[in-house]
Chains A and B, each alone.
Chain A
Amino acid sequence: MIELTNVTKKFGNKIAVNNFSLHIEKGSLTMFIGPSGCGKTTTLRMINRLTPFDKGNIIVNDTPINDVNPVELRRNIGYVIQEIGLFPHLTVFENVAIVPRLLKWEQKKIERRIEEILELVTLNQSFAQKYPLQLSGGEKQRVGLARALAAEPEILLMDEPFGAIDPINRLKLQDSFLEIQEEIKKTIVFVTHDINEAIKLGDKIAIINEGNLIQYDNVSKILSDPANEFVENLLGQDRNIKALSLKKAKDYVLKDGFITVLDTESRESVEKKMKEKNIKIAFALDENNHLKSRFVLEKATETKKQKFIYNPAPWIIERQNNINEALSKMLEAGEKQLPVVNRKKEFVGIIKLSNIFEEVNKKTNIS
């Protein structure tokens, strides 16, 4: 999909990118990581010709990019930067419609597409008529992503897109970004300086230092087999625990062991149903499948009789949470099982502590 061959770029006498060769596969999410000034952003910007390169060749979709008009090339490659750069004088709709309009899509098609894309990035349709100044940082970033994806480019270039977002919202954005990618399967090149982000998001990681490609491999391979000391230091002391974070909550979701009820149902009827089916946990959902509350039937002991607990706002794990995060939520909530939702907040199942421990056991046995 994207092929860099012996690419070199100098700024004055300083070599920014040195004889760089890399093959990026279609549909994969490749992370570029390295210290500031290592050449990762320069490399990214060479792919859409925002920065010209001195030597070598870059091929996108079987065509050398220097044979393509840069303006045409960029219209077919989505581009997201850290500062987002939304146009303040245009509404969200107009911002997202920029590339489709440049490509002369019909108005009807643009309208349909924008409805679809706002849905994809989980922004309410009412956002279409808002202006950038009325949005929060996270919302702006979602609009930036929607704008980059609007004309359905095959390739997406992202330059530290979540860098300026506070840590809590950054995790949320990463989760929903992963779900979106699962759906759209674009070829994405993503620059970051955060190793945890690289491990969490990437299919492959390219580790770059002083303009040289140090290691380029699958995430698990990099974690288990760092090429040299630089990579080891970058990964940090806790790379075994980081390896755990490769496993996602979605891989452990169970569809049984609980029942779901409507949140309008009375407690008595819920309790009756649970006893009938001999199930100890029930989740109350509204008509949109959003989780509203939880019921737990506790075992009767000698001193107490059976207890029926109602929990109006249960702890929730998101599908894209890795098992580190899931584990940490369970510890914090003091629960052996927690419900799982997708990015649209729809209930998808539960996850059990015992399943996670099995995974931890497997890991420690290997290393």
Chain B
Amino acid sequence: MNILSFYLNNFGRIMSALEVHIFIFLVALTFSTVIGMAISIFVTQEGREKIGRIILSVMGAAQSVPSLVIIALIFIFVGIGVKPAIIALVIYGLVPIVFNATSGILSVRPNIIEAGKGMGLTQNQLLWRVKIPIALPVIMGGIRSSSTIIIGSATVAAVIGGGGLGDFIFIGLKLQKPEMLITGAITVSLLAIIVDYIMAKIEKKVVSKGLQIKKT
């Protein structure tokens, strides 16, 4: 009951923290996606497959680095505030996107690429009309996990002044007010679940039906 009354009494504050949280998440995800796709496209161009595979193993390893480490490093080198927090989240959110997009593009079957080339598709057409659409389920999977990771890590980024729902958790911790801490945690979790649901819907929409068919 404590939590509910805290919720009702502080509704305005919670909503504005949620707004900040969503804003940070959207900005970070947009940058992560654009930069991540650019990196993946660059390292998967014909002749650079070797770099692509190196990037894959680096990203695989990077996935095990705790978000706190990145946030701490950004704090040391960039400082405090919303901007450093977003930079940290962009970097951390890059990892699954680059990992998935690179492996997705590299695993498009060679005979499909061979057929495309044989029909007279240019390298660009091959990339945008064949490789990326075929790798899209994997790429979308990367963007989905990046979303969840950014929403979660944004609470940690509150320690370097990112703001958002993380403030409730950390302040609640310091003031020993469990209802405040739990309110922050529950709201962040709900946000993550809802965003993941929306992402799943988008994925279903943008991925070609031909790739969603189960083999009969």
A residues near B (Cβ < 8 Å) are: 48, 50, 70-76, 79, 81-91, 98-99, 102, 131-134, 144, 147-148, 157
The distance from the CB of A95 to the nearest CB of chain B, in whole angstroms, is 9
B211 sits at the interface (CB 8 A): yes
Please tell me if the beta carbons of B213 and A84 are within 8 angstroms of each other in the complex.
no
Instruction: Pick the most buried of B113, B121, B215: most chain A CB atoms within 10 A of its CB.
Output: B121
Residue among A50, A85, A148 making CB contact with B111, cutoff 8 Å: A85
Q: Which residues of A contact B119 (CB under 8 A)?
A: 74-75, 79, 98-99, 102, 147-148
Please tell me if the beta carbons of B122 and A71 are within 8 angstroms of each other in the complex.
yes
Please tell me if the beta carbons of A131 and B209 are within 8 angstroms of each other in the complex.
yes
Q: Which residues of B contact A132 (CB under 8 A)?
A: 210
Residue among A72, A90, A91, A131 making CB contact with B120, cutoff 8 Å: A72
- Indicate whether A74 sits within 8 Å of B120 (C-beta atoms), given known contacts A81-B114, A85-B111, A85-B112: yes
Please tell me if the beta carbons of B118 and A89 are within 8 angstroms of each other in the complex.
no
Q: Name 4 extra pairs, CB < 8 A, besides A82-B111, A132-B210.
A: A81-B111, A81-B114, A85-B109, A87-B112
Please tell me if the beta carbons of B120 and A102 are within 8 angstroms of each other in the complex.
yes
Please tell me if the beta carbons of B213 and A133 are within 8 angstroms of each other in the complex.
yes
How far, in angstroms, from A87 to B116 measured CA to CA in the complex?
9
Which positions 65-120 of chain B face chain A at CB distance < 8 Å? Answer: 109, 111-120
Please tell me if the beta carbons of B118 and A131 are within 8 angstroms of each other in the complex.
no
Please tell me if the beta carbons of B117 and A131 are within 8 angstroms of each other in the complex.
no
Please tell me if the beta carbons of B115 and A86 are within 8 angstroms of each other in the complex.
yes
How far, in angstroms, from A127 to B5 measured CA to CA in the complex?
61
Q: Which residues of A contact B210 (CB under 8 A)?
A: 88-91, 131-133
How far, in angstroms, from A70 to B73 measured CA to CA in the complex?
49
B57 sits at the interface (CB 8 A): no
B residues near A (Cβ < 8 Å) are: 109, 111-122, 125, 130, 133-134, 136, 208-211, 213, 215-216
Please tell me if the beta carbons of B118 and A81 are within 8 angstroms of each other in the complex.
yes
Q: Which residues of B contact A148 (CB under 8 A)?
A: 119
Q: Which residues of B contact A75 (CB under 8 A)?
A: 119-120
- Indicate whether A50 sits within 8 Å of B215 (C-beta atoms), given known contacts A88-B134, A88-B210, A133-B210: no
Residue among B109, B114, B208 making CB contact with A90, cutoff 8 Å: B208
Instruction: Pick the most buried of A85, A99, A157: most chain B CB atoms within 10 A of its CB.
Output: A85
How far, in angstroms, from A131 to B215 measured CA to CA in the complex?
11
How far, in angstroms, from A360 to B119 measured CA to CA in the complex?
45
Please tell me if the beta carbons of A79 and B118 are within 8 angstroms of each other in the complex.
yes
The distance from the CB of B101 to the nearest CB of chain A, in whole angstroms, is 16
Please tell me if the beta carbons of B120 and A81 are within 8 angstroms of each other in the complex.
no
Please tell me if the beta carbons of B114 and A134 are within 8 angstroms of each other in the complex.
no
Please tell me if the beta carbons of B134 and A73 are within 8 angstroms of each other in the complex.
no
Please tell me if the beta carbons of A50 and B118 are within 8 angstroms of each other in the complex.
yes
A-B contact pairs, 16 of them (CB 8 A): A73-B120, A75-B119, A75-B120, A81-B111, A83-B111, A85-B111, A85-B116, A87-B116, A88-B208, A89-B134, A89-B211, A90-B210, A99-B119, A99-B120, A102-B121, A132-B210
How far, in angstroms, from A70 to B109 measured CA to CA in the complex?
22
Q: Which residues of B contact A50 (CB under 8 A)?
A: 114, 117-118
How far, in angstroms, from A86 to B211 measured CA to CA in the complex?
12
Instruction: Specify the chain B residue showing the minimal Cβ separation from A98.
Output: B119
How far, in angstroms, from A48 to B120 measured CA to CA in the complex?
9
Instruction: Specify the chain B residue showing the minimal Cβ separation from A144.
Output: B115
Q: Which residues of B contact A86 (CB under 8 A)?
A: 112, 115
How far, in angstroms, from A338 to B67 measured CA to CA in the complex?
77
How far, in angstroms, from A82 to B112 measured CA to CA in the complex?
11
The distance from the CB of A102 to the nearest CB of chain B, in whole angstroms, is 6
Q: Which residues of A contact B130 (CB under 8 A)?
A: 87
The distance from the CB of B132 to the nearest CB of chain A, in whole angstroms, is 10
Instruction: Specify the chain B residue showing the minimal Cβ separation from A89.
Output: B208
Residue among A70, A89, A134, A147 making CB contact with B216, cutoff 8 Å: A134
